[in-house]
Structure 1
Amino acid sequence: MNIHKIKSFAKINLALNVIGKIKNLHKIESIFSFINLYDLILIKKISSPKHKIFFCGKFSSNIKKVNTVTKLLDILDKKKLLKNNKFYIKIKKNIPQKSGLGGGSMNAANILNFLHKRKFINVSQKQIIKISKLVGSDVNLGLESTSGIINSKGIIKRFDNSPKFFILLTKPVFGCSTKKIYSKVKKFTKSKYNSPKKSMFSQKYLKSQKNDLEKIAFFSYFKLQKIKNFLMNSSNPLFVRMTGSGSVIVAYYLSNLDSVIAKARFKRKFKNYWCITSKTI
């Protein structure tokens, strides 16, 4: 079988509200998009008794033996959906771990999509969504690389041709523990996105929104607040917001030049921190 290449795009939360909790799982609603930063997945069917999974690239170190990709394949094998087919998978990690960019979850979503579209698994789209949720709560967001809004009931509405932004992604040398951040959520926000509209992607609307996890993350990791303050005061962005549970802080702009200038200023101030310009897709 020929080897196939898949671009697994990073996800960003333009806004995020924590609206409740059921048992140990927090309920969120979010306005999200995808950006032109991606992990590259190589995949092919092989004659082997086991799947062969490898990670390489700048952000491949310390990936656990049990991860979203192994979890997905384990679920498919146990359900006998792969019919004993095995795969070689190599993923070049360009998306940082523990960043709020959903790298691992999007990897699993894209591999699941590939296996479905290539008819290695023959189930309904409804079943694909169920499988994605077994792997991780946000994996279903990556089943389409299209901007969308997930409401309080977990229903996703996608929007083609939503407004685009040029962005600067910044990350300190540490990542944020999603489990730790969510464990400190004590207050919930009243749901706002149950009637999703494309106008919610406008800069005016997004400026008025927030990420409920920011205050918690900033209290636990004070350097994140320092990064946000610097970006807000030095580069004249439309707005600055943490994505997911961090630790990436995103500054949003209307032009590529503004994001490039902002990157140069950021690198002068935070020489050892990761930063990259990108744009929503």
Structure 2
Amino acid sequence: MKIYELKSFAKINLALHVTGKLIRLHKIESIIKFIQLHDLITIKRIDSNKHKISFSGIFSRNIKKDNTVDKLFKILDDKKLLNNKKFEIKIQKNIPQEAGLGGGSMNAATILNFLIKKKFVKINQKKILQITNLIGSDVILGIVQKSTILSSSGGIKKFLKSSNFYILLVRPNFGCSTKKIYSGVKKFSKPVLSNPNKNMLNLRFLLKQENALEKVAFSKYPKLKKLKSFMENLNQPLFVRMTGSGSVIVAYYQNNQDCELAKVKFKRKFKNYWCNASKTI
């Protein structure tokens, strides 16, 4: 059987506002980009009565049995959308967990997108949304990995071309629980991304934005606030912001040289923290 190799790119939130609360989830709006950092997925059809899913790499520890990829294949099997076809999936985890980078969600999105493109699964857009929502609310964002503006109404607008940044991602030696961070949100902001347009991806607009979850994350994890302050003085970044519910902090640069030099300086100070220089795509 042919072996396919897929890149599952991490995503970052350049801005994130919490605008309200639903029964189970919060209403958010966000500006999202995908970055060069990726997990590597190999997938092939196998002659078996069950799927074989395995994880390797530095961030493969403690991945639950009920992970996003297992959930995806269980849903597809339950709905009989694979016609009893079985697959072997191996995922090399380069994206840290509990980081705000959407690693697990993007794994599921990347695999589902592959199955649709190769016509192993035949479903319409409505069905795609239903399946992704059963796995996780952000999985739908990875079906088309382009710059995205998510409005609080749930609308998603993709942009083919926008400004790119060189970025330095750093993660302390702990992760942040998404549930724990969102549970600390007490104040909501007014929507500002209700009418998405390309100008919202420009630096001038981004500089005025924030990640509203920083206040909660910094109060629960003071080390994150200190980390952001330190990064704001690393080679004059354009801006520094936490992604998602953390714990990764991202510094944005206009050129690769400044970004790489900032990485060297950071690693001198924080030898035991994960650090990665990447670029938006």
TM-score interval for Structure 1 and Structure 2 normalised by the shorter chain: over 0.9
Aligned pairs (5 A) from 1:252-263? 252-263=252-263
Give the superposition deviation at 1:120. Answer: 1.1
Counterpart-to-counterpart distance in 2, 1:165 and 1:154 = 26
SS of residue paired to 2:169: strand
**Could you say which residue in structure 2 is the equivalent of 1:37?**
37
CA drift of 1:130 comes to 1.8
Cα deviation code 1:75-106 (max 9, x no counterpart)? 11111111111110000000000000000000
Distance 2:68 2:159 in 1: 26
Once the two structures are superposed, the pairs formed by residues 1-281 of structure 1 within 5 Å of their partners are 1-281=1-281
Aligned-residue offset at 1:24: 1.6
What is the rounded CA distance, in whole Å, between the counterparts of 1:237 and 1:265 in structure 2? 13
Q: How many Å apart are 1:234 and its aligned residue? A: 3.1
- Separation (CA, whole Å) in 1 of partners of 2:125 and 2:191: 27
- Give, in whole Å, the separation in 2 of the partners of 1:149 and 1:22: 20
CA shift for structure 1 position 54: 0.3
Deviates more, 1:236-245 or 1:118-127: 118-127
* Distance in 1 separating the partners of 2:274 and 2:130: 35
Structure 1 residue 230 displacement after superposition: 0.3
Unaligned runs of 5+ in 1: none
State how far apart, in whole Å, the 2-side matches of 1:270 and 1:226 are: 12
What is the CA–CA distance in structure 1 between the aligned matches of 2:67 and 2:136, rounded to whole Å? 10
1:170-192 CA-to-partner distances (Å, cap 9, x unmatched) read 00010000010011111111011
Secondary structure at 1:208's aligned position in 2? Answer: coil
Measured in 1, the distance between the counterparts of 2:25 and 2:128 equals: 21
Partners of 2:228 and 2:26 in 1: CA distance: 25
- TM-score, normalised via structure 1 length: 0.99
AA of the residue aligned to 2:63: I
Question: Deviation string for 1:233-281 (max 9, x for gaps)?
Answer: 2321000000000000000000000101110111111111010100000
Counterpart of 2:231, as a letter, is L
Deviations 1:158-180 (A, max 9, x none): 01111000000000010000010
Q: Distance in 2 between matches of 1:193 and 1:170?
A: 27
Name the CA distance, whole Å, in 1 between partners of 2:117 and 2:126. Answer: 14
Three-state SS of the structure 2 residue aligned to 1:265 is helix
Give the secondary structure class of the aligned counterpart of 1:233. coil
Listed one character per residue, the Cα deviations across residues 136-165 of structure 1 (whole Å, up to 9, x for unaligned) are 000000001100101011111001111000
State how far apart, in whole Å, the 2-side matches of 1:126 and 1:4 are.
27
SS of 2:70's equivalent in the other structure is helix
Q: Which residue identity does 2:195 align to in structure 1?
A: S
Read off the aligned partner of 1:194 and give its amino acid letter: S
Q: Deviations over 1:198-229 (max 9, x none)?
A: 11111111111000100100111111111100
Deviates more, 1:126-135 or 1:223-232: 126-135
Hey, which bits of structure 1, 4+ residues long, moved more than 3 A?
A: none
Taking every aligned residue pair, what percent have the same amino acid on both sides?
A: 63
CA RMSD of superposed structures (Å): 0.7
How far apart, CA to CA, are the structure 2 residues paired with 1:118 and 1:264?
Answer: 42
Q: Distance in 1 between matches of 2:145 and 2:234?
A: 32
Equivalent AA in structure 1 for residue 11 of structure 2: K
